[in-house]
Amino acid sequence: MIFFEVFSLILLSINPHLNSLVEAIRSSHISNADSYWHQYTSSLLNERLFSKNTHQLGGLGNVKDREVKFAEGQFTEAEFAHQIGIDFSSESMSIESEWFLNKAESLGSADIKIYFARARNYAKEWNDVLHYNDDLTDPSLVVYEEKWHENLIKFIQHSKDSNDIYEGRLALTSIYWPFRTPGYIDSFAPAIIDNLQGFINDYPDNPLIEQAYERLIWRLYETKKYTRLCEICLNFIKEYPDARIAEYIKFQLGNAYYYSDNFDEAMKIYSSVNQDSFPDHVYPGWGGRYILEDLNRKLDELKDMD
């Protein structure tokens, strides 16, 4: 009984009109969505009925803050819809995101970040097709990839912020998500590796260079390209010795030697890693402490081989 009451309170903490709107979008009852949107925005302006817990809706952790700003006139209606669309896109919830982005545009929002959010949405749809249909010949893959690419190009062309431009260019190197379609890494890795290498060659001083190297090194490691992995790691260590991920790159250099059966070099490199300076996380979401467990396991194994 206590559980039911707590659960009810959590549900009640969502503005009911927001809940109805999201459910209508998800169930493809789009014709009802505009009505729910009007009820939702009116309840914020007139009743101050703010949401407190929307985690089960996904992608809306900061929605109360957005709602308050809208009610207080800090956001226009278009900006409010735009921000929720961005929030959903950031959480890979493309169906919900697209409705709010469309609403924002219909209300006059021209923020170029809509292009980047849409690109993310199409990338999500592309990956979903592969993940659920398991068919590389599905024609919708081409459609989603073209739309993903088109929106990133628009984002780059219209942006006046150099960091945004670099972010868009880095996103252009790969539509592939490592956790969504792992069975297809060999199919897409060669083109992605070449794209990332091109990004690194063209923009060696840009602020996203470490992210590009992390992605490149991960794909070389996953596809067992150990000779090239060794070359890339050595180049990074030479060019960026003080980088945040320098000790992780040494670990991957050690892997290149280890999996090539060059155990003496692997031992030397693994032993040189400063574990106190190891990054907490690296692409594609690996935790630093788990990587160090792997490193120390390999060190123990190599010592036992002596």
Predicted confidence (pLDDT) per residue in 69-107, tens digit:
999 999 999 999 999 999 999 988 999 999 999 999 999
102 shares its domain with 121 = no
What is the predicted pLDDT for the residue at 9? 41
Q: Torsions phi, psi of 134, nearest 5?
A: 55, 45
Q: How does DSSP classify residue 57?
A: G
Contacts by 85-89 with C-beta closer than 8 Å and gap 24+? 85/114, 85/117, 86/113, 86/114, 86/117, 87/59, 87/60, 87/61, 87/62, 87/63, 88/58, 88/59, 88/60, 89/59, 89/117, 89/118, 89/120, 89/121
Same domain, residue pair 55 and 14 = yes
Confidence at residue 32, expressed as pLDDT on a 0 to 100 scale: 86
Same domain, 302 and 237: yes
The CATH number of residue 244's host domain is: 1.25.40.10
How many domains in the chain? 3
Shared domain check, 150 and 58: no
| Same domain, yes or no: 82 and 200 | no
User: What is the structure's pLDDT at 258?
Assistant: 97
Please report the pLDDT score of residue 282 as a whole number: 95
Q: Which domain holds residue 41?
A: 1-110
Give the domain-ending residue among 135, 150, 172: 172
pLDDT at position 265, please?
A: 97
Residues of the chain with pLDDT under 50: 1-11
Residue 192 sits in the same domain as residue 306: yes
Domain shared by 83 and 128, yes or no: no
- pLDDT value at residue 179: 78
Residue of 81, 173, 80, 163 whose CA lies nearest to 119: 173
- Residue 98 shares a structural domain with residue 32: yes
Q: What is the pLDDT of residue 10?
A: 41
Q: Are residues 47 and 165 in the same domain?
A: no
pLDDT for the residue numbered 4: 39
